[in-house]
Structure 1
Amino acid sequence: MRRFSLWLRGKPTVADSMLAAILFMLEVFAFAASDDRPPWVQLFMGFLVCVPIVWRRRYPRAAAGAILLVSITVTFVSYSLGDVDAEHPALLALAVALYTLVAYVDRQTAAVYAVGLVVDSALSIWLLDQRVIEIGLYSALIYALSWITAEFLGARRAYDEEVAARLAVADYDRDRRAEDAVAAERTRIARELHDVVAHAVSVMIVQADGASYAMTKNPAVAKQALTNIASTGREALAELRRTVSLLRTEPAVDDMPQHGTAGLARVVDMMRSAGLPVELELTGELDDISPAVSLGIHRLVQESLTNVLRHAGERPRAKVRVRRREVDVLVEITDNGNATEKFTLGSGNGLLGMRERVAVLHGTLEAGRQTDGSWRVTAELPLQLED
């Protein structure tokens, strides 16, 4: 049963079709149980009330309007046929429509729709000579219950979505940190590889020069030098094989991070989903700069927005400006000034990592509290990296 419920959650049209079918079956039962069988047109009107339910979540406004229009039509049809006692259980679709507007659209639209429901109930009481207290209280109770239920479930759904978004940010941040750790390890291995090759080649060059000089005057020394060259070469080859074996597993192309404007937009969208409003301003061509600078920009924005989300207090907001200039790229991330002292109580590794990354790119970084209380990170990254 639970598996079926989870399956239905991913297919709203199927679930709504089942709801429409249930309402229509209630209409059929009411039609069959009536002593004085009402005209078949009444059953057809009940069917028309149920049909829009199928698309209530895909087109909530149109579906709600159609249900209300059919309900008013049912009132006029019953009045014209003189069938004032006709029962239409399918009119519960009105409450379903009100619930849908509150939960999936907004309260203002739902309030306008509630006015339409009052008009519909008033027409029914007036034309069909129904009792005001009984019909009015019953309708008010049903509609109020629908509104309260929608408010509760809507708040719960919004909370679940925010939690899911924050979990996505946490997973993304974890993957980023893992990727940074791998990159740091690769840098360490690269330095070790450089040291191994530089040391071995330097020794081999010196030994080769000595062997060349002693070849004619002292063959024994030349032979020993050649032996040293061979030994050094074997040791260097063993070290190279050991080091390169750590680098054989390369990430797939599809798993590589997406940088440039698309990558920045992706990070901003993820932060917005987690509840952090972000204003993104991109100036100049940012997709044709070097991969190293592009990655640096991406990481600066990512780390700064993560810090804002974590430490910027209640109702945080952020603005990201990336501007390409003649010789460098200006990156500026600013929050809205709601930061608390908790901002400065982190580990400091994020800011340290940003400084190290900017230093590698031969850029400059400034980060700190502004006079208006906001926190600003400003970096200038040169477009041409120095050798």
Structure 2
Amino acid sequence: MRHVHLWLRAHPLVFDGLAATVVALLSLMLFASVGVQGHWWQALFPLAFVVPVALRSRHQVGALYATAALGLVTLATFSFPHPAILYAGIVMAYSASAYAPRTHARAALALSVVFGVIGGVKWSYLVLSLTGTSYDLHELALRNQAIALSVSIGVCSAPLLMAWLWGGVVHARHAYLQEALDRASRLERERDALARLAVVEERGRIARDLHDVVAHSLSVVVLQADGARHVLESDPARAAVALETIGRTGREATAEMRRLLGVLRSPQSASRAPQPDLGQLETLVSQVRESGLPVTLHVTGDLASVPAGAGLSAYRIVQEALTNSVKHGGPSVQAEVSVVVQPDGLSVSIADDGRGAAAANDGAGLGLLGMRERAAAVGGEVTAGPRPGGGFAVTAFLPTEKAVVRQ
């Protein structure tokens, strides 16, 4: 039944056609009996209600007042409440309350009350005929007249009022759903804006980090060049070592500068504190242990041979991954950090045995965005996700200078 309702809601013209068909069938059902009595006007007139009912979704306000006008003619000329006209009134009361602007919806409520009262007073004799009494209304006692009128007004008003109230429920439900959709759309836009802002801010941090690396390399080049110039004649061997250092440092600085050109830098000023490197991983792990997260560190290879840019990115990735383990891993979580220096790059893995996919999600995921930006800045990549046996894992591969140059 719910699927039928949703389908009809998505195809309002189908419902209009069905409602108009019901009005026509009810009119034709009584056409012969009413026409035989000589009331051809009352037999034909209900068919006029087919038009506003068929146009109710395309012209809500006009159909409402057209039905009201036809209803006034009915109250003035008909000797009995025609079922087709009553059905048309129910459909329009519901439609106006559910879909029309609130001013016209309130007008539909007022019209329902007016038509119910007038119709109840005019056709109150039907109540007596239904009870089988032979008395007319004016022959009853005043108390019984009041009861008969009240029952008649209630019988005529109840269907219209119930239809109007149900339309109000539908309108409130549609308004709530629309508000929920608008809120979800707004939150999605805010989330996307936060993600873009996080990327820009993280790129700004990356730019500042790489700037410090390149500045350090250039300082080394200048110092070594000055030293080589002073000992060039007295100690050529030392000058050759200095020149070799200059060449190596210059190549590293050139590679870092190439990466820097691909990174957007935030215009905001920032502090120029010394940047960490892989040599401080043990200090970082010790700080995390002191915060309550048991961490095991495994290092394979010579960390000193890793370029400064890749080392800084690896340090930040480990730092962010361990921070996520502390925040989302839950109680009694343990973590393991593995750093492997390979001939073509640096492999980093951070895994924990915490809640994994069951961890509470703040809906932002900005930490993972930052890690991916860090890796992309040095030509690497990061993958993250729940572990098959439980917990969460972050792995990164950062190519070294030689691998980048070969590309």
Give the TM-score of the pair, scaled to structure 2: 0.46
Structure number with higher relative contact order (C-alpha < 8 Å, ≥ 6 residues apart): 2
